[in-house]
Structure 1
């Protein structure tokens, strides 16, 4: 993916990593469209950041995805990058059956079916572009599990394998598949994350990501240094130690 000259749609980007990445990409000369559920938030972002496009979308709702995709392609026919940013992260306790099922189902709906439906909605268009990119968003927890978030971990592992598989299927097309793999970052994804001293500050994370995009335009995964501890535990042969370290102080880790 080139660092500039793109038209980019990022659903799920009205806060946190999504918004910070959107603004950083806009600053590099890209046309950027953010998507979110709340109209008032989108209106505020458009007023605060001239030139930033906005589209209402609920990625847990198939009808909303279809409507938003039509609007985006009508307003931005040069679209060539889709970033499937939207996601939720919630704790679950499977030892208490009455408490986990609804959370698990909502996580799969948003984190797995959401990206699948988004990619499906834009695939035909992206394949028609001479140079296009699908950027999926996973997590270090796709590779090392956090005890408190079983379905979140599984959802990100699913998107990792989806990314790997789509890359194979699209190898002879104009569409590249890039996987963004965040570590714990100081955002409001879960309660306490924004104040987590063990998480990477958001500005530092985005600066490192932008540097990697600029220096590695053909990268298959965007991995900042902090995430490699989780990403490569199994390959290094210290997976059990990495799992233990991640879960030693559970509230302070993502």
Structure 2
């Protein structure tokens, strides 16, 4: 992936990892477009910043995604990088009599169908470029789940498998396919407490590491994964799956 002179679209770019990536890429001389559900929030982020734009998008609404495709075609025809980053997460207790499957349905809608919709809408634009990159935000939990976040982890496992297939199908097309697999990072993904949890990796430190890996091309198999997460990535191959699962999910 080239790191400058791109036109980059980042979904879920109004907060967390998406916003931090947007600002890091903008600082390196890229034209960046972020999306989110509230235009007023996006306008505040991009105000006074040349080559930084915000477009309202509801990934759960196919019509909104179609509108985005038209806006990009008309206003940002040089788009060559798409980062499908938007996602939601919540814990679930499936032993409870009042377990509400609507939370699981919402995560599937945003984390899976949202990625598929925005990819289908914008991949044709990327395929017309000679220097294109598509990256989706998965999770280190795609490889070994936290059992109290069952649907969230499963959506990320889906994305990992799907990206492997997409990468293979596009092997003769000049679109690089990358998977961003964050660890536990100080964002508000699961609520405000996560943003200050000392067990979580500071957001700035994580994004700095991601940018350095992208600059070096350090993403074997297309996976942008920190060294600290290799134990989970290869737990089953190394015969450590049960032990690491037990450590992450105490009885």
Q: Do both share a fold (TM > 0.5)?
A: yes
Change (3 A) 1:190 1:49: farther
In the alignment, which residue of structure 2 is the partner of 1:246? Answer: 248
1:237 aligns to what?
Answer: 239
Q: Which residue of 1 aligns with 2:178?
A: 178
Query: Structure 2 regions of 5+ residues with no counterpart?
Result: none
SS state at 2:60 partner: coil
Q: Tell me the CA shift for residue 235 of structure 1.
A: 2.1
Paired with 1:28 and 1:123, the residues of 2 have a C-alpha distance of: 24
Instruction: Work out the CA distance in 1 between the residues paired with 2:120 and 2:207.
Output: 27
Secondary structure of residue in 1 paired with 2:100: helix
1:212 counterpart residue number = 213
Partners of 1:55 and 1:72 within 8 A in 2 = no
RMSD: 1.5
Question: Contact conserved, 2:36 with 2:56, CA < 8 A, in 1?
Answer: yes
Task: Please show how residues 63-212 of structure 1 align to structure 2 within 5 Å.
Answer: 63-191=63-191, 192-212=193-213
Number of equivalences: 249
Q: Shift in Å at residue 176 of structure 1?
A: 1.3
Q: Aligned equivalents of 2:212 and 2:131: distance in 1?
A: 21
Q: What residue is the counterpart of 1:37 in the other structure?
A: 37
| SS, match of residue 204 in structure 2 | helix
CA contact 1:3–1:217 (8 Å) conserved in 2: no
What is the CA-CA distance between 1:148 and the residue it aligns to? Answer: 1.0
Q: TM-score, normalised by structure 2?
A: 0.95
Given the alignment of the two structures, is residue 13 of structure 1 paired with residue 13 of structure 2, yes or no?
A: yes
What is the deviation of 1:96? Answer: 2.4
Partner Cα distance (2:55, 2:168) in 1: 31
Structure 1, unpaired ranges of 5+: 250-254
1:86-145 CA-partner distances (Å, limit 9, x unpaired): 000111111125323100100000000000011000121111111211101100110111
SS in 1 for 2:32: strand
Counterpart position of 1:252 = none
Does the 8 Å contact 1:2/1:217 carry over to 2? Answer: no
Q: Return the alpha-carbon distance in structure 2 between the equivalents of residues 248 and 202 of structure 1.
A: 27
Q: How far apart, in 2, do the equivalents of 1:73 and 1:95 lie? A: 47
- In the other structure, the counterpart of 1:47 is 47
Post-superposition Cα deviations, 1:60-85, rounded to whole Å, max 9, x if no partner, equal 11111110121122111100011000
